[in-house]
Chain A
Amino acid sequence: MLDVQKIREDFPILKREVNGKPLVYFDNAATSQTPQVVIDAIVDYYSNYNANIHRGVHTLSQEATDAYEIARKKVQQHFNAKHPYEIILTSGTTHSINIVATGFTNLLAKGDEIIVSALEHHSNIVPWQMLCERTGAILKVIPMNEEGELLMNAYDQLLSDKTKLVFTNHISNALGTINPIEEIIQKAHNVGAAVLIDGAQSCPHIKPDVQDLDVDFYVASAHKLCGPTGVGLLYGKEEWLNKLPPYQGGGEMIDQVTFEKTTYAGLPHKFEAGTPNICGGIAFGVALDYMNSIGFDNIAEYENELLDYGTKKLLEIEGLKIYGTSKNKTSVISFNIDNIHPYDIGSIVDKLGVAVRTGHHCAQPIMDFYKIPGTIRASFSFYNTKEEIDILVEAIKKAKMMLS
């Protein structure tokens, strides 16, 4: 069981006011807030051992290198990768996807097929469309139903020996649907295709085990996991990471450089050109420790409670419609009220201190599916409370009154 009041004490930002009202932060699917231990780790790094890593012989450089590599190990352990060098520390999910999408340029031929789900964030669509433009590969889409669930029968039909890659998110950022990734991965492997899972939205709620999933690539961002922005991970199976060429050239990623020929460093450095986000990586490790100290089972249980409560309370508002009604979903509620534009509701609830996201959530194909301009999205985290949901509901009622 979580002690929410105690947890809230860990997050200094939750004490602030917005427009004269106590902040109610329900935009967790966009970014999570930062606990004091993570802030302290950032301050500690810049106060005590800021140095470039992997090359200096001096003490600060050694300390920073050790801390950074310890963080990589923490990430490895958290996601249960087989080796630490299968964890590439990147600037975030988008960067990670681009490394893989670019890396596949020489591995695909014209007419090969790659499969995406209808529930994707633009960052898990556009890099693959660009890959198709470069290679002549064909992009196929797993369709969804009205509840916001993928149609697995249609997926079966799309798979063939032409399929080379399948990529989908674990959880939809716009609707909260949890996709059946175990089945998606297994079926893709049956036809010899590789799979990339975008875990940006699932990692805050679920602790994935990449070996158990047998996934080829798994990507996520630290800032959704109580860590800082600008850092994330690309997990890849060793054999896959060895197959992909480097994404960027530069320092750190080389073995030998002459003007005639350069040989590349081994994993993970091959994909980590330039000075990385050292402080961010270290803070990412601390954030994972923090989340694990609370416990993902506890987090999931409590967030489901918030989801059930929020769903029930919001549906009491007349004219409110929820998009994404799968039984298998996480603590994200996407909704609209009558024909009121989500932007109008968002503007007014912000005035009342409530932070929600409005718009298409970088998932325009989903909005097109429902024929709406966007939604209001409230996404709950383990530091939110039922009282805050009550404040949201009252704010929405007020907005509705003003706008009707």
Chain B
Amino acid sequence: MSIQELQEEIVDEFSMFDDWMQRYEYMIDLGKSLPLIEEKYKIDENIIKGCQSKVWVHAEMKDDKIEFTADSDAIITKGIIAILIRVFSGQHPKDIMDADTAFIDEIGLKEHLSPTRANGLVSMIKQLKMYAIAYQTQLN
């Protein structure tokens, strides 16, 4: 599926919920399905700065597509990074670079998008896109 299709799929899933509690519970469930980063990559260099909780992300290139794995010590943060990885993992670097992330707003997580929020969603998006730029440069 394309990034666009995956985003629409997630928006559909979240539209089933009436209130924030259900959305948060679903996000917590998504966190549990996160492709976990291997322990050897859980190092300080892979920590995303700007989060109140710790978030580690590892990226690898397979067949011109980026595979992301991640983990966090906070459950809600884990849910947020899981959503991002579901959208971006297995995609071409160029597509990741070009993707917009307005769907976050549509799934009712708008408050997490502010750059001053301590959860660092903005930092996470930036970091994933940085990996995409780096791998795209290699491809060129």
On A, residues with C-beta under 8 Å from B are 19, 340-341, 343-344, 347-348, 351, 358-359, 373-374, 402-403
CB contact between A359 and one of B21, B28, B54, B118 (< 8 Å): that residue:
B118
Cβ-defined contact, B52 with A343, below 8 A: yes
Chain A residues, CB < 8 A from B25: 402
Minimal beta-carbon separation of B8 from chain A (angstroms): 26
Q: Per-residue CB proximity of B72-107 to A under 8 Å, as 1/0? A: 011111000000000000000000000000000000
Interfacial chain B residues near A348, Cβ < 8 Å: 24, 76
- B21 CB to closest chain A CB (Å) equals 7
CB of A396, distance to nearest CB on chain B (Å): 15
B75: which of A359, A374, A403 is its contact (CB, 8 Å)?
A: A403
Contacts of B21 in A (CB 8 A): 351, 402
Q: Is A343 a contact partner of B76 (Cβ separation < 8 A)?
A: yes
Contact A373 B24 (CB under 8 A): no
Cross-chain contact of A402 among B28, B54, B73 (Cβ < 8 A):
B28
Q: Is the CB of A403 within 8 A of B28?
A: yes
A358 to B77, CA, bound (A): 14
List of A residues within 8 angstroms of B118 by Cβ = 343, 358-359
CA distance A374 to B28 in the complex (A): 20
Chain B's nearest CB lies how many Å from the CB of A350? 9
A374–B52 Cα distance when bound, in Å, is 9
**Which of B20, B24, B75 is A341 in contact with, Cβ under 8 Å?**
B75
Chain B residues contacting A19 (CB-CB under 8 Å) are 20
A377 to chain B, nearest CB (A): 13
Indicate whether B119 reaches chain A with its CB closer than 8 angstroms.
yes
Categorize the interface residue count of chain B.
Answer: 10 to 19
Bound state CA distance, A348 and B22, in angstroms?
A: 12
**B interface, CB within 8 angstroms of A:** 20-21, 24-25, 28, 52-54, 73-77, 118-119
Task: Give the complex CA separation of A378 and B54 in angstroms.
Answer: 22
Given the known inter-chain contacts A373-B73, A402-B21, A403-B75, please indicate yes or no for A341 contacting B28, CB distance below 8 A: no
The 5 closest A-B pairs by CB, nearest first: A341-B74, A343-B74, A343-B53, A343-B52, A344-B76
**Besides the known contacts A340-B75, A348-B76, A373-B73, 4 further A-B residue pairs in the complex with CB atoms under 8 A apart:** A341-B53, A343-B77, A359-B118, A374-B52
CB contacts (< 8 Å) of A373 on chain B: these are 53-54, 73
Which B residue sits closest to A358, measured CB to CB? Answer: B52
Q: Which residues of B contact A341 (CB under 8 A)?
A: 53, 73-75, 77
Selected A-B contacts with CB under 8 Å, 29 pairs: A19-B20, A340-B75, A341-B73, A341-B75, A343-B52, A343-B53, A343-B74, A343-B76, A343-B77, A343-B118, A343-B119, A344-B74, A344-B76, A344-B77, A347-B76, A347-B119, A348-B24, A351-B21, A351-B24, A358-B52, A359-B52, A359-B118, A373-B53, A374-B52, A402-B21, A402-B24, A402-B25, A402-B28, A403-B75
Chain B residues with CB below 8 A from A344, complex form? 53, 74-77
Contacts of B74 in A (CB 8 A): 341, 343-344
| Min CB gap B132→A, angstroms | 27
In the complex, chain A residues whose CB is within 8 Å of the CB of B20: 19, 351
Chain A, Cβ-Cβ closest to B25 = A402
Q: How far is the CA of A245 from the CA of B53 in the complex (A)?
A: 42
Cα of A403 to Cα of B28 in the assembled complex, Å = 8
B22 to chain A, nearest CB (A): 10
How distant is A228 from chain B, measured CB to nearest CB, in Å? 21
Nearest Cβ in chain B — how far from A171, in angstroms? 24
Chain A residues with CB under 8 Å of B53's CB are 341, 343-344, 373
